[in-house]
Homo-oligomer: A and B are copies of this chain.
């Protein structure tokens, strides 16, 4: 029988699980070539504007396969509704039967993205984090920081945003969680104060320049997931000692690495894949002066892993 799980029980389950190792295993399986991921399905709407993406795939010889549906309807805000929504479906690889429906409203996508940021920091961030820089003030700007608490004790945030209102809300919300937040609209201030910087915006123009960067900085860029989006000056990747992609193949067609390779600033062969680094099991950064960049565009194996793990927990 198909089981249907709602957002509240999904939230409760994820809070009590070690999802980092689940996500790490997913990245390793992906880099080992064990994951089957067909092209993403897409439905586009004009009136009102919106898009729905269908991502699906499976790990070979695994028990299940997963289909994720995620929508973004940007006029929802005017209706007082969240713009993003979605669900995940878990099926048996043995029978094709639907086992579970996860009515997660997009929450598990946020969790798996935050977990990828945590893992990137684990392997790439400097040991001593002075302050965490955050570009953006939305859900990911919050979750990426809170998910770093397993990797660093640092509670200092320098937040960059476009709107004073959203910066103020961000500041208040993070202060309530115990963080010390300063806000700015000048990227230079972030780069000078922080040696762990997270990019979470949908910008289509670079927000942070290579000339602003201090040695010893790690950047996790997870905002740019299409060919149009770009948050980092491509010269940052040229200057970086280590550049890591969640999916090398995908990062050659979208995200920061795509722009840097296309501009001729780096060669694809210089880019390492996250799963391979996790498999090696050691911190990738070898000196506290290195500049490192992790480009996270989001891969279906993350959805597969989190949906599978949450269903197992909720069904047990």
Chain A contact residues, CB within 8 Å of chain B: 2, 4, 36, 38-39, 41-43, 45, 47-48, 50, 52, 54, 56-58, 61, 65, 67, 69, 71-73, 76, 79, 81, 85-87, 89, 91, 93-98, 101, 103
Q: In the bound complex, what is the Cα–Cα distance between A50 and B91 (angstroms)?
A: 12
Q: Which of B42, B56, B89, B103 contacts A38 (CB 8 A)?
A: B42
Look across to chain B and name the residue whose beta carbon is closest to the beta carbon of A44.
B36
**Chain copies in the assembled complex:** 2
Other A-B pairs, 19, CB within 8 Å; known A41-B41, A86-B98, A87-B89: A2-B103, A38-B41, A38-B42, A39-B41, A43-B57, A45-B58, A45-B96, A47-B61, A50-B93, A52-B96, A54-B54, A54-B67, A69-B98, A71-B91, A76-B96, A81-B97, A85-B97, A87-B98, A101-B101
Known: A85-B96, A94-B48. A43 touches B69 (CB 8 A): no
Closest to A39 in B: B41
Q: Which residues of B contact A71 (CB under 8 A)?
A: 91, 96-97
Provide the bound-state CA to CA distance between A257 and B65, in Å: 35
Known: A96-B71, A98-B87. A56 touches B76 (CB 8 A): no
